[in-house]
Structure 1
Amino acid sequence: MTQMISQTFDVKGGPHYGRENLPKLRAALTTLGLDGFLIPHEDEYDNEYLPDCNERLLWATGFSGSAGAAIVMADRAALLVDGRYTAQGRQQTDTALFDQCDLVGQGLYGWIEENGRKGEKIGYDARLHSPAALDLLETAAMRAGVELVSVEQNPIDVAWTDRPAAPKADIIPHPIEFSGEEHSSKRQRIGIAIERGGADAAVITAPPSIAWLFNVRGGDVSRSPLPLSAALIHKDGTATFFVDPDKLTDETRSHLGNEIAVRPESEFGPALAELDGKTVRVDPTTASAWVFETLKSGGAEVQSLEDPVMRPKAAKNPAEVEGSRQAHIRDGGAIARFLHWLDTEAQSGEVDEIQAAQKLESLRKELPELRDLSFDTISGAQGNAAFAHYRVSEASNLKLAKGSLFLVDSGGQYPDGTTDITRTVPIGDPTAEMKTQYTRVLKGHIALSMVRFPKGTTGTQLDILARFPLWQAGFDYDHGTGHGVGSFLGVHEGPQRISKAPNSVALEPGMILSNEPGYYKEDGFGIRIENLQVVTEAADIPGGERPMLGFETVTVAPIHKGLIDTHLLTADEIAWLDNYHALVRSKVMPLVDGDVADWLIRATEPMAGATP
């Protein structure tokens, strides 16, 4: 739990995985009487980051990306990836063994409908598919004359003879000073919500929800302090925690108390089957089809509703909000030292992406509170920065060349909060185009920071503010503008988000979201400016008729003034930037000294003489 996991830059995978492992998998399928098998990237916990033992797609294909799927038949196979991973998919898999297909437009269900042969039996592991995904697969199979067969044991797990052991990191209590509410109070609140919804109990399968509900944190996956487990909470607030008992220390058992029963995770299925006659709430977006099937076969009435923990977890309490502020101030000191380094030593043109990422990690490691990175640092120079979710490797590593831009997106995990920040800086002199596009991105960022909005407003309704300056000039970016962020939990958290994609979740006080518009010129450069901000009750607006909400920015780090074309900014936008930099200086200056302090003063000076 407290051991830092350093970022590595050697990418796992490669064509030899498929060459070595496809024969093993096909032999296991023959034993089961199957003609094929479906392999999603997801694991039993719907994790963003997978423990090594659950990297089944990687084992079977050699593809290591975070979004993908495969289907392996007796005489053919296909890898499906989205547009981010087209090149990587071809590099990491043997294209003589795997057809390269589209995960988004076609998907596994499309592949089955187009390529399935009448009479074929294709297996699947119901623990790895959502009910909605399985419905699409079954419809496609019916149209193709294919039979889908649920397997009791995943054949990959059988064929993978050197499969890593399941993680056994200690689960530790999350202190009240950071959680802000005892787990007994949380359980009572959730129990009342379950009862009001007409259910007797709720199944919780998302590890972040379990960690929040029981005020515990774990270390079973990298980048998120999660305990891999499952839970059942009843309407009276009592609960059962299905977890490897070896992970529980004596302190944690005492912390859980008498109202949380502990059972081995192997008993989760039998426990679901024991709910005969009960109405059980389950979230179809986080729980697998196996959970639904097990409950129904056991005689339970299934209520398909959102995880009751999700929204309370998203709306941070005062202790969690203050923890986020403090984590960002601490993180801001490390970021200031890094940005100073970028503006000085890294201007040589000889530093590369890996060295920059390692430098930033080394500065964060100087903070005793750091527990982990919150995700693998995106360190993008030159054209690599045009890939919004670029991950540097030894093979792709480029220099921070003079006359280019460098984009760095990074974050840290601290006991009191999770950080996520993106800054773009010039290496040498930026071009006029770079400055113009950077300023358009900044204008969108400022608009989303300054907005006031009535209760009931969703992130979808606010998304246009961040895009408007780019749209007016004929540009856009192909990712969401903002994602939710956990409190010493996942750096990507729902259900709140800011995106063009429809989202019906209203923003509530305490929700933390990113604000990260960008611009990406293929083979040229990438720009993104990202701060985290918390939804707050806004001050009354003179003459206004309705109470409003707004955002408080919690990230504190300079925005590079050398990339700003002040002629494109309004007076209000310049005032916002000056006020933000004054905040940065006041919070971060006590954490730095010497040359860094001198640099910070210059970096946060008001835009003197800047007129729109």
Structure 2
Amino acid sequence: MFQSFTVASRPEQGPPRLAALRAQMQAKQVDAFLVPRADAWQGEYVAPCDARLGWLTGFTGSAGFAAVTATEAGVFIDGRYRLQVRNQVADVFTPVHWPEVQLADWLGERLNAGQVLAYDPWLHTASEVEGLRNHFTPLGIEMHPLENLVDAIWDDRPAAPDAPFFAHPIEFAGVPHGEKRAALAADLQKRKVDAVVITLPDSIAWLLNIRGNDVVHNPVPQAFLILNAGGGATLFARTGKVDDIRDHLGADIAIAEQAAFLPALADLEGRIQIDPKSAPDIVASTLTAAGAEIIAAMDPCLLPKACKNPVEIEGMRAAHIRDAAAVVNFLAWVDAEAPKGGLTEISVTERLEQFRSASNALKEISFDTIAGAGPNGAIMHYRVDENSNRPVKMNELLLVDSGAQYADGTTDITRTVVIGNAPDDSAENYTRVLQGLIAISRARFPRGVAGMHLDALARFPLWMAGRDFDHGTGHGVGAYLSVHEGPQRLSRISDIALREGMILSNEPGYYRPGSYGIRLENLIVTVKAPVLAGADDRDMLAFETLTFVPFDRRLIITAMLSPDEAAWIDAYHVKVLHDIGPRVAGDTAKWLTQACAPL
């Protein structure tokens, strides 16, 4: 059911909380203090006890940070949140357009030589701190790691999550964790690395075949891990969280309290690998102080985790078929009920979750559902609340972006539908967005091609009309893990070569501020391309579609489609009807038959 999980100040609480933070800064003799949204695990979601940015400022977006000096308090947000931040924060906080304005430049104009910038070394990555230090040291501005000053004034701070970790069965994981550890250890030996420190929760979840409930929507365990070159490991977690998985972990994995993590780092010797882009700065500084040689490299779990094994892919297929039945039931319900009036964005969100829950397989939704009616659909990362809740009206578009977590897979799907008659030019733009999705779906490409090389395919139909969208075309997706998973993306800035087993979203869009938003999203998995008659002997890859839910035929202008595009849509709808038809009944079955009729 619809509810809010955020910890945030109300506007009237902002001034006294900011004043209390500045009193702490004065007592510690620091001139500026950083308050990121991040926690020690650098994930997209944070537990309530780690929602320091929201508690201090009131801003609840998924990305941003604050920089507080004695006279100014900047809240740095990107283009997704510039309207939201003004509605959430008190006027003692100044919204700063980021990344157009960089933190180093903003602070450089406000701090002088000899002044001190303080930060919590658990909440900033090693590479982030190194970049700031390289900027400020020549200016004579000192950077000091410090205990968190927000925690010192947060009297009613929630307790840390205490739900126990649980095993992810081999029937879904596909590969025993001993084999995964052995493969990583062999690579460490080859490169003469003595141990690797792993701090990302989804990496630890994948490597050890475990899951957790420490943050909303993502089934990840908050823990730290040291894997040695022999394949053994030590897992550091809070008291009681590992009790249920001791037998699953086995004798090769030692268990220690989370508080023992830093002392263990201080005892490490030799060549120790960390990922400076995700490891907290305190990990790097502790290893350096201990005399270890730091080997900077990508988290070794990222690529093998991204390349799903056959069991994981089959689980994702099953999860998507189950999820599609729920979404089809939902879309049929919307089509029947919306013209009667009375639906709102919140009621739509709640009803969709009810359809998913009816399978008795739903573990969680995979992110906060985006249900944007009319102009709210043009807000790319909109999330409805009681204040913004808008009726679903006739002659408008409704954009619904949602997903689910099942034990066998993670889903993410967006469909945009029309209620009544389509607004002016929306059908044209819908068709162009659909053409972009089809272009990605049909792509064949040589091995070595990255997301940056394919991203333009999704945009070309919009570019031809002088239009575009201001987000990436797609992100990686985990298997009963994080719905946003790296390192692969379909984006003009992603240079990670695509490989078999990588699952991505395919979600072009178009947004008309004040009127409507359009986004269409399927998940796709990278596969070896079928051999074509007469083709060169090249190693080619392609995409297999995982998501099977009909598109709104009322918004498709068939005259704009090429014969191949029209054939793709018809074939897709045949597949939807074949796979999902047997899973729905009654009025929904009739609706699906009509929705999948040939163009």
Question: What's the TM-score once normalised by structure 1's chain length?
Answer: 0.95
* Alignment-derived partner of residue 85 in structure 1: 81
**2: CA distance, partners of 1:309 / 1:132:** 19
**2: CA distance, partners of 1:379 / 1:11:** 22
The residue type paired with residue 133 of structure 2 is: E
Equivalent position SS for 1:17: helix
Match for residue 466 of structure 1 among 458, 465, 475: 458
Per-residue deviation, 1:6: 5.2
**Contact kept in structure 2, 1:7 and 1:376, CA below 8 Å:** no
**Contact kept in structure 2, 1:10 and 1:394, CA below 8 Å:** no
**2: CA distance, partners of 1:456 / 1:339:** 39
**Contact kept in structure 2, 1:191 and 1:236, CA below 8 Å:** yes
* Alignment-derived partner of residue 512 in structure 1: 503
**2: CA distance, partners of 1:7 / 1:368:** 20
The residue type paired with residue 238 of structure 2 is: D
**Contact kept in structure 2, 1:122 and 1:149, CA below 8 Å:** yes
1:275 aligns with 2:268: yes
The residue type paired with residue 594 of structure 2 is: R
1:217-266: CA deviations, max 9, x gaps?
A: 0000000001100101111111110111311234x100000000101111
Per-residue deviation, 1:66: 1.3
**2: CA distance, partners of 1:513 / 1:77:** 38
1:437 aligns with 2:429: yes
1:131 aligns with 2:122: no
1:179 aligns with 2:173: yes
* Alignment-derived partner of residue 610 in structure 1: none
**2: CA distance, partners of 1:390 / 1:360:** 17
Unaligned runs of 5+ in 2: none
**2: CA distance, partners of 1:98 / 1:143:** 29
* Alignment-derived partner of residue 289 in structure 2: 297
| More displaced 10-residue stretch of structure 1: 466-475 or 350-359 | 350-359
Equivalent position SS for 1:344: helix
* Alignment-derived partner of residue 105 in structure 2: 110
**1: CA distance, partners of 2:190 / 2:496:** 20
* Alignment-derived partner of residue 100 in structure 1: 95
**1: CA distance, partners of 2:139 / 2:36:** 20
Equivalent position SS for 2:462: helix
Matches within 5 A, 1:402-417: 402-417=394-409
Match for residue 202 of structure 1 among 178, 183, 196: 196
Per-residue deviation, 1:301: 0.5
* Alignment-derived partner of residue 217 in structure 1: 211
Per-residue deviation, 1:33: 2.2
The residue type paired with residue 538 of structure 1 is: A
* Alignment-derived partner of residue 527 in structure 1: 518
Matches within 5 A, 1:233-244: 233-244=227-238
1:99-154: CA deviations, max 9, x gaps?
A: 22122122321211111134322211111112232133224433554322111x21
1:595 aligns with 2:587: yes
1:39 aligns with 2:35: yes
Equivalent position SS for 2:574: helix
**RMSD of aligned alpha carbons:** 1.5
Equivalent position SS for 1:115: coil
Question: What's the TM-score once normalised by structure 2's chain length?
Answer: 0.97
1:260 aligns with 2:256: no
**Contact kept in structure 1, 2:272 and 2:294, CA below 8 Å:** yes
**Contact kept in structure 1, 2:188 and 2:229, CA below 8 Å:** yes
Unaligned runs of 5+ in 1: 608-612
1:392 aligns with 2:387: no
Alignment: residue pair count? 598
**Contact kept in structure 1, 2:224 and 2:258, CA below 8 Å:** yes
Moved segments of 4+, more than 6 Å: none
| More displaced 10-residue stretch of structure 1: 592-601 or 12-21 | 12-21
The residue type paired with residue 474 of structure 1 is: G
Matches within 5 A, 1:160-179: 160-179=154-173
* Alignment-derived partner of residue 190 in structure 1: 184
Per-residue deviation, 1:9: 8.8
1:554-585: CA deviations, max 9, x gaps?
A: 11111111100000011111111111111111
1:53 aligns with 2:49: yes
**2: CA distance, partners of 1:41 / 1:311:** 26
**2: CA distance, partners of 1:393 / 1:555:** 28
**1: CA distance, partners of 2:14 / 2:138:** 29
* Alignment-derived partner of residue 350 in structure 2: 358
**2: CA distance, partners of 1:117 / 1:349:** 60
1:47-88: CA deviations, max 9, x gaps?
A: 100000001111221211111111222333221111211122
1:29 aligns with 2:25: yes
* Alignment-derived partner of residue 117 in structure 2: 122
Per-residue deviation, 1:324: 0.3
**Contact kept in structure 2, 1:385 and 1:527, CA below 8 Å:** yes
Per-residue deviation, 1:536: 0.8
1:64 aligns with 2:55: no
Equivalent position SS for 2:321: helix
* Alignment-derived partner of residue 73 in structure 1: 69
